[in-house]
Amino acid sequence: MPHILIVEDEAAIADTLIFALQGEGFGTTWLSLGAAALEHQRQTPADLIILDIGLPDISGFETCKQLRRFSEVPVLFLSARDAEIDRVVGLEIGADDYVVKPFSPREVAARVKAILKRMAPRASVDVASALFRVDPERVQISYRGQPLSLTRHEFRLLQCLLEQPERVFSREQLLDALGVAADAGYERSIDSHIKSVRAKLRLVRAEAEPIQTHRGLGYSYSPGHS
């Protein structure tokens, strides 16, 4: 049974989430401080964290930044702030989704289920280019025999492209592969993730361009440019 850590300082909101999540069969733990959540995740790792941004001690953004130093647990932000920049910042620092208050508890539970489903290990695929090796259990991709130091989002993004060589994926489709709602305002952040993956591939082979840009359309993996 997946266990969800709720980090929220308003008891009424936390109670609503606990009721909704337990009704879907999830185990829950509630904490009200970011520092306590970090310590809890080190000692008793949850399967997903619902993280309020406006916490009394450190912000949810800062909590997530510190969390990413030692854990790749999925994070769903809760916030009263609905500006696009807040949503973009949330994804850039490693969140998987962003829900604005007031929210529907049933929608949050549905998003939690969708994230966990997408995070489930997928079977390794026979990548067209033998230059890549995908290990979904270890969340690791090797290129030309060298393991790449990828974030969880970068792993999912590159894995998605490798699974279907030459297919052009739109930003919305790549967001879907990351488990992020396409309506969350994150489309352009895909570009920064692609840029980062390309830089890491060039550290292995400087002239390689396996990820191709299709202007106005999206991105694809081209084995011939590996």
- pLDDT tens figures, 157-215: 999 999 888 889 988 888 877 766 555 556 667 888 899 999 999 999 988 889 999 98
111 and 138 co-located in one domain: no
Question: Residue 211 in 3-state DSSP?
Answer: strand
In a domain, 125, yes or no: no
pLDDT above 70 for 80: yes
12 and 95 co-located in one domain: yes
- Output the CA–CA distances (angstroms, integers) from residue 189 to 17, 49, 186, in the order listed: 29, 22, 5
| Contacts with 177 (C-beta within 8 Å, 6 or more apart), sequence order | 118, 156, 157, 159, 160, 169
User: Of the candidates 72, 94, 119, which is a domain's last residue?
Assistant: 119
Is pLDDT larger for residue 87 or for residue 37? Answer: 37
Which parts of the chain fold into alpha helices (H)?
A: 11-23, 34-43, 60-67, 84-92, 105-119, 152-163, 171-178, 189-204
pLDDT tens-digit profile of 115-150?
888 776 554 444 445 689 998 878 889 998 899 999
In a domain, 127, yes or no: no
CB 162 within 8 A of CB 135: no
Question: Residue 195 in 3-state DSSP?
Answer: helix
The domain that contains 192 carries what CATH number? 1.10.10.10
Residue 139 φ/ψ, nearest 5 degrees: 50, 55
34: number of Cβ within 10 Å:
25
The model's confidence at residue 217, banded by pLDDT at 50, 70 and 90, is confident
The whole-angstrom separation of Cα 195 and Cα 190 is 9
pLDDT over 90 percentage in the chain: 47
23 and 85 co-located in one domain: yes
Pairing of strands 132-135, 140-143: antiparallel
Q: What is the pLDDT of residue 145?
A: 87
Q: What is the pLDDT of residue 125?
A: 45
Element housing 226 (H / E): none
The domain that contains 69 carries what CATH number? 3.40.50.2300
23 and 86 co-located in one domain: yes
Q: What is the mean pLDDT of the chain?
A: 86
41 and 93 co-located in one domain: yes
> Residue 27 pairs with which residues in a beta bridge?
3
69 and 30 co-located in one domain: yes
175 and 219 co-located in one domain: yes
pLDDT over 70 percentage in the chain: 90
pLDDT above 50 for 83: yes
pLDDT tens-digit profile of 97-115?
888 888 899 999 999 998 8
Q: What is the pLDDT of residue 97?
A: 87
Q: What is the pLDDT of residue 185?
A: 56
Range of the domain at 111: 3-119
| Contacts with 104 (C-beta within 8 Å, 6 or more apart), sequence order | none
57 and 154 co-located in one domain: no
Q: What is the pLDDT of residue 76?
A: 93
98 and 152 co-located in one domain: no
Q: What domain count does the chain have?
A: 2
User: Of the candidates 64, 95, 119, which is a domain's last residue?
Assistant: 119
137 and 111 co-located in one domain: no
52 and 146 co-located in one domain: no
